[in-house]
Structure 1
Amino acid sequence: MEDDANPEYGMSPDDTATRIAELRKLANILGRKAVADEVRISRGRLTSILAGGALPTGMTTAMARLRIAANVARQGHERKLSELRKSVKNLGLER
């Protein structure tokens, strides 16, 4: 039987848990409003998904965009932290 002949019945429980965990992580990095706006759902629905009360369906493309945005945000935070450490060292404020 060809793979194309197998119907898709939605996400498995493991996939759902993985997606919810990733949404939590992205919401912590980017904020709930940004995540909800990107996946085009209300903040209330996002809250429900994060609490396990709703299923995170149909977000594949938006999740990919969110991963990119989170990486960019993380790199910006790391760059700022590096600059702060250099400033602390240059000012002689290290312990």
Structure 2
Amino acid sequence: MAAWNVPLKESMVKNLWLAGMTGEQRAEAIGCQNAHPAQCVKNEAVISLDISMGNAGAAAPWLAIAAATEIARQTHSPQMIICGDTTQKVLWSTLITPIASRQEMDL
């Protein structure tokens, strides 16, 4: 049902969620704001769960997924998540997209 917004067009992603990262990883991830699909995310729409909630360890990606999913549901806008592992030099990303409303599916 969410296929109506795939592939994502420019300016669709409204928030960039960061979690489970070292400072160096966070700086790398913020650099992704200049690339598709996060190129239109404003600085105030970058949400660092590590800064706002503290390091959640292995739960950090799950908290980011839960928070981004809820905001996608409320705002009907795609959300991007970038998570890391403070013990490894690994980053991963995913996009959360809202379910299309019946009206959008009929367009």
Give the TM-score of the pair, scaled to structure 1.
0.27
Q: TM-score by structure 2 length?
A: 0.25
**Which structure would you say has the larger RCO, counting Cα contacts within 8 Å and 6 or more residues apart?**
2
Mark the structure with the bigger radius of gyration. 1
